[in-house]
Every structure is written in structure tokens, then in C-alpha cells.
């Protein structure tokens, strides 16, 4: 029984450590990246919301991930667009998110 508890503790500790390492990464850029203009197509359904400019941090840089339709995860939720924030270290992207 102690062996199982030790293994469960170890697995949980590793998972928490990995999760905290990936979420704490902060990427700053001196020049904000640009992206090609994406043509907004017709919405696939009345529930779909257009996600315009959006960026994801990946491998130490930003990758464009906007320009698409998405369905809110729950009824009544709206998309709050992301934005660039200027800091003493450079520009940093604040990701868009679903909210009420």
C-alpha cells in the first residue's frame, strides 16, 4: 500500500511540476509580429463567434492562431479579444479568452 501511495505522490508531483513550468513561460518581443489578413467567411452557424487576431506562445516565439470561427464552450459565454501589452522588456501578448 505504501508503495502505491509513493508512486501516486510521485506521478502527481511530476504532473504539477510540468504544468507549472509550461504555464510560467513569458515571451517578450521587441517588434510585434504581423500576420496575413484573413478573410472572414460566413459563419457556419448562428452560434459561432469570429476569433480575430490571436497568438499562441510556442517554442519561444508567437504563432498566429486567429482568423477562425469557434463555438463558445458554454451558453452565454462571449469572446474577449486578446491584445498586445507594452512592457519594459518588450511587447507581450495577452491571450483572448471566453467569459461572461
The domain limits of the chain are 27-99
pLDDT in tens, 4-19: 545 544 444 454 444 4
* Gap between the Cα atoms of 94 and 12, Å rounded: 29
State the average pLDDT over residues 69-89: 95
Q: Name the one residue in this structure whose C-alpha cell is 513550468.
A: 21
* Gap between the Cα atoms of 56 and 32, Å rounded: 13
Residues paired with 69 in a beta bridge: 50
The residue ranking higher by pLDDT, 100 or 9, is 100
Q: Name the one residue in this structure whose C-alpha cell is 477562425.
A: 68
pLDDT in tens, 22-37: 444 688 888 887 877 8
State the average pLDDT over residues 31-51: 89
pTM over 0.85: no
Amino acid at each position: 500500500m505504501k508503495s502505491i501511495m509513493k508512486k501516486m505522490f510521485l506521478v502527481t508531483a511530476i504532473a504539477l511540476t510540468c504544468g507549472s513550468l509550461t504555464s510560467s513561460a513569458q515571451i517578450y518581443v521587441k517588434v510585434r509580429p504581423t500576420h496575413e489578413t484573413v478573410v472572414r467567411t460566413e459563419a457556419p452557424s448562428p452560434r459561432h463567434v469570429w476569433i480575430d487576431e490571436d497568438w499562441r506562445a510556442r517554442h519561444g516565439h508567437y504563432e498566429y492562431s486567429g482568423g477562425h470561427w469557434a463555438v463558445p464552450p458554454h451558453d452565454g459565454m462571449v469572446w474577449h479579444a486578446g491584445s498586445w501589452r507594452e512592457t519594459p522588456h518588450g511587447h507581450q501578448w495577452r491571450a483572448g479568452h471566453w467569459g461572461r
